[in-house]
Amino acid sequence: MKALTIAGTNLRRMFRDRTSLFFVFVLPLMLILVLGAAFGGPSTPKIGVVGVDSGHFLDALRADRGFRVDTVAREGDLLAAVERGELAAGLVVPPSLSGEVRLVVRQDGAGEQARLLVAAVIAAENGRLASGEFVARVAGTDTADAMSIVDSVAAVTPVVSVSTSSTGDALFPADLGRFSLGASSQLLLFMFLTTMNSSVALIESRRLGMSRRMVATPTSTATIMLGEGLGRVAVALVQGVFIIAGTSLLFGVRWGDPPAAAALTLAFALVAGGAGMLLGSLFRTEQQAGGFGVLTALGLAALGGCMVPLELFGGVMRDVALFTPHAWANQGFAEVASRSGTLPGVLPELGVLSGYAAVLFALGAWRLRAVLTR
Amino acid sequence: MTTDTPEVLSCKGLRKRFDDVTAVDDVSFTIAAGETYGLLGPNGAGKTTIISMVAGILRPDAGDVLVEGVPVSTRTTEPKGRIGYVPQELAVYPDLTGRENLTFFARLQGLSRVAAARRVAHVLGVVGLTDRADDRAEHYSGGMRRRLHIGMGLLHEPILLVLDEPTAGVDPQSRNAIMDNIRELAHSGLAILYTTHYMEEAERLCDRVGVIDAGRLVAEGTRRELVALLGERDRISLSVDGDLGHAEDVARLVPAVLGVAARGRGLELLVHDARQCLPAVLSALAEEDVRVRAVEVDEPNLETVFLHLTGRALRG
């Protein structure tokens, strides 16, 4: 009961600090909104075309659903749009496809895909034009009639079909909401950052003499340590629940199986609480703890896949990432949110996170006890 | 204190070292119910270390602290409920209100929610903060914070109040209010352990004083006993009208007067205890129609005692 009193006071003090409220509640939602708006969700790359407004060639390009094809009036506008990244590629087509077709692409995956698509469509168009030329010569008709014969024959000629199937899970499923991709990463980053920052309150308590005063009451040191630890966990949990609820309601983020998501949030809050307690007992001044806490929180978040998805990490970095609790929690949330995992599916992640929490709490309690009863 | 007054605190042979420094060296003293005991010494003398061991937040290397015969240590909890600890640092959460600060510690003292609310209201009245109870402590003046700080030590109705330099950094008006509060608490039967490096406070508040220097208790007793250790006497200066020689003869006949000398238009009397014998001197002079216009008493103080015992000034 006394431990809850201490934890409750920690929480009350956090709610009294307007700066904390901004970092705990406002900033995470703002970042998820901004990141989701900027990078989230499916987007279809665009190809700009100058020189043709309609016709078979344009229809053939538009037949590919992987791209949107827009016509552009002037070549200068086309190049500028590619430079700005508004278009994945720009195509300058000579009248009646006579002569050289010029293609300008961006140096990225979408530009390369556009190049392949344009090359395939032009190859097909070249074949069609050659067939028309052949028919015109053999049948002695004009080119328009010849092309019409070619098109009608092509429509009834059996073609070699390609059957496509998929295997394995998509790294970023197409049905994942635009805000879902970064939400769990931001959740972990902020829960850890806030809790590390809350270690400052533990040092302030010592500096003010409140900790000594608590020890002078008929409250065991173990109860005081439990209360301080619970206080840190409570701060992390309140923020975690707020982010999950807020992003679900405001941005439609899908967090997956509730028991699994809740277990992962609780386990990570325990890890963050233990780390906060250790930090608060290791340093003497709020400035030292604050600086080290922010650096550690951001460093672990970067290493653990909260800034760049783990899926994009190389082999060695992926192994290194697994030394951070963030990577395990990220893996767990990916399983639950993206692949419809349930509690049994994230038991390994929960086990590792619990281990981290136990070690950090044990070290924090050991240090805090030494500091309180020195 | 009389011998039949129950002993509340007993410290026996307390020792504490920090690395190579002996902070407290074989310190023993007792405090009875209703007694105010002052630990007087300069900064760094070991007062706070002794207080910390008494409050059970610092483990002594040797020696015992007993409250009503029950040992106090960092590992015990029950006897701590009998001690009200007021540390030197202003231990108040600035972002909580006065009431919230008090309630927090009332709960840690083991009071139920209802009992805590009742005691908090009472203590707010005792320290004069009822009107500002729901303001955040960060908006209090230094004196108000200090009073709140002291109030936190009274919530659970302790039998021993331990105050570590409670008037440090407060204005004279607040200091007087705090000292009046402490005196009232002592009158209510509370045993009080009070540390200070202000000689005036020790003289004004404490029934007995322990003089502490470099971790050792170098002398202990009432102010008078300590002064007597030095063989010093009080001096009474009287301005009188009329026959100075006659006045001198009259004063000399008062039993407690050790010596009389005429100085200008007055007399200078040497006595053991000026406060005790002054009424007898004035009465004897009045009976002989010697009119006294002014009286000045000069008593050796604890500053002098400290200087004699340690060779250093208190606030050196």
pLDDT in tens, B270-284: 888 888 889 999 999
* pLDDT tens profile A4-31: 999 999 889 888 888 888 888 888 888 8
Q: Which of B228, B256, B282 is the last residue of a domain?
A: B228
pTM above 0.80, yes or no: no
The Cα–Cα gap between B300 and B224 comes to 9
Ramachandran region of residue A126, left (φ > 0), alpha (ψ -120 to 50) or beta?
alpha
Q: Are residues B249 and B223 in the same domain?
A: no
- 3-state class (DSSP) for residue A62: helix
Q: Are residues B187 and B66 in the same domain?
A: yes
Q: What one-character DSSP code corresponds to residue A362?
A: H
For B85, the closest of A17, A213, A373 (CB atoms) is A213
For A17, the closest of B56, B83, B95 (CB atoms) is B95
Q: Which residues contact A368 (CB under 8 A, 6 or more apart)?
A: A202, A225, A228, A277, A280, A281
User: Which of the listed CATH numbers 1.10.287, 3.20.20, 3.40.190, 1.10.10 matches domain A46-154?
Assistant: 3.40.190
Q: Which domain holds residue B67?
A: 7-91+152-228
* C-alpha distances out from residue B296 to A258, B188, B239, B266, B276, Å: 85, 33, 9, 11, 14
Q: Is the pLDDT of residue A123 over 50?
A: yes
Q: What is the mean pLDDT of residues B225-234?
A: 76
Residue in B19, B26, B71 with CA at minimum distance from that of residue B214 = B26
Q: Are residues B62 and B156 in the same domain?
A: yes
Task: Give the number of other Cβ atoms within 10 Å of residue A222's Cβ.
Answer: 11
Q: Which residues of A touch B58 (CB under 8 A)?
A: 373-374
Q: Do A2 and B93 touch (CB under 8 A)?
A: no
pLDDT score recorded for residue A37 = 73
Q: Which residues contact A73 (CB under 8 A, 6 or more apart)?
A: A50
What's the mean pLDDT when you consider all of chain B?
88
**Planar angle of CA B37, B42, B43, nearest 5 degrees:** 110
In a domain, residue B139? The reply is no
Q: Do B104 and A5 touch (CB under 8 A)?
A: yes
For A216, the closest of B83, B104, B107 (CB atoms) is B83
In a domain, residue B110? The reply is no
Q: Which of B228, B250, B267 is the last residue of a domain?
A: B228
Q: Are residues B36 and B62 in the same domain?
A: yes
Q: Do B59 and A373 touch (CB under 8 A)?
A: yes
Of the listed ranges A42-56, A355-369, B180-194, B258-272, the least confidently predicted one is A42-56
pLDDT score recorded for residue B232 = 66
Q: Do B105 and A220 touch (CB under 8 A)?
A: no
Number of structural domains (chain B) is: 2
Question: A355 and A328 in contact (C-beta within 8 Å)?
Answer: no
Q: Are residues B71 and B24 in the same domain?
A: yes
The domain that holds B260 is classified in CATH as: 3.30.70.260
* pLDDT tens profile B31-90: 999 999 999 888 888 999 999 999 999 899 999 999 999 999 888 888 899 999 998 888
Q: Is the pLDDT of residue B140 over 60?
A: yes
What's the mean pLDDT when you consider all of chain A?
85
Task: Give the number of other Cβ atoms within 10 Å of residue B245's Cβ.
Answer: 9
Question: B67 and B8 in contact (C-beta within 8 Å)?
Answer: yes
Q: Are residues B172 and B282 in the same domain?
A: no
pLDDT score recorded for residue A43 = 64
Q: Which of B228, B247, B281 is the last residue of a domain?
A: B228
**What are the residue boundaries of the structural domains of chain A, listed by start?**
2-40+179-372, 46-154
**Planar angle of CA B158, B164, B166, nearest 5 degrees:** 90
pLDDT score recorded for residue B2 = 46
Q: Are residues B66 and B171 in the same domain?
A: yes
| Most confident among A282-296, B96-110, B263-277 (mean pLDDT) | B96-110
A131 touching B (Cβ < 8 Å): no
In a domain, residue B124? The reply is no
Q: Which residues of B touch A212 (CB under 8 A)?
A: 52, 57, 87, 89, 91
Q: Are residues B184 and B244 in the same domain?
A: no
In a domain, residue B104? The reply is no
In a domain, residue B135? The reply is no
**Planar angle of CA A291, A292, A296, nearest 5 degrees:** 120
For the purposes of burial, counting CB atoms within 10 Å of the CB of A214, is it exposed (0-12), middle (13-18) or buried (19 or more)?
buried
Q: List the beta bridge partners of residue A187.
A: none
* pLDDT tens profile A305-335: 888 878 777 788 888 889 999 999 999 998 8
**Two tokens at A48?**
């700009």
Q: Which residues of A touch B75 (CB under 8 A)?
A: 221
Q: Which residues contact B255 (CB under 8 A, 6 or more apart)?
A: B280
Residue in B66, B23, B14, B35 with CA at minimum distance from that of residue B187 = B35
Task: Give the number of other Cβ atoms within 10 Å of residue A82's Cβ.
Answer: 22
Q: Which residues of A touch B105 (CB under 8 A)?
A: 213, 217
A369 touching B (Cβ < 8 Å): no
**Planar angle of CA B300, B306, B310, nearest 5 degrees:** 140
Residue with tokens 């007995």: B208
The Cα–Cα gap between B123 and B125 comes to 5
B95 touching A (Cβ < 8 Å): yes
> How far does A203 lie from chain B, in Å, by closest CA?
12
- For A300, list phi and psi in degrees, rounded to 5: -65, -35
Q: Of all helices (H) and strands (E), which one includes residue B185?
A: helix B172-187
Residue in B205, B138, B129, B137 with CA at minimum distance from that of residue B167 = B205
Residue in A19, A26, A64, A29 with CA at minimum distance from that of residue A46 = A64
Q: What is the mean pLDDT of residues A128-139?
A: 87
Question: A200 and A50 in contact (C-beta within 8 Å)?
Answer: no
The domain that holds B29 is classified in CATH as: 3.40.50.300
A13 touching B (Cβ < 8 Å): yes
Minimal-distance CA residue of chain B relative to A211 = B91
In a domain, residue B50? The reply is yes
Q: What is the mean pLDDT of residues A154-163?
A: 80
In a domain, residue B307? The reply is no
pLDDT score recorded for residue A33 = 81
Q: What one-character DSSP code corresponds to residue B94?
A: T
- Give the length of chain B: 316
Q: Are residues B80 and B35 in the same domain?
A: yes
Q: Which residues of A touch B56 (CB under 8 A)?
A: 215-216
* pLDDT tens profile A27-59: 888 888 887 777 655 567 788 998 877 677 788
* The one-letter amino acid at B238: L
For B108, the closest of A12, A217, A373 (CB atoms) is A217
Q: Is the pLDDT of residue B315 over 60?
A: no
Q: Is the pLDDT of residue B316 over 60?
A: no
In a domain, residue B74? The reply is yes
Q: What is the mean pLDDT of residues B226-244?
A: 82
Question: 3-state SS of A214-253?
Answer: HHCCCCCHHHHHHHHHHHHHHHHHHHHHHHHHHHHHHHCC
Q: Are residues B244 and B221 in the same domain?
A: no
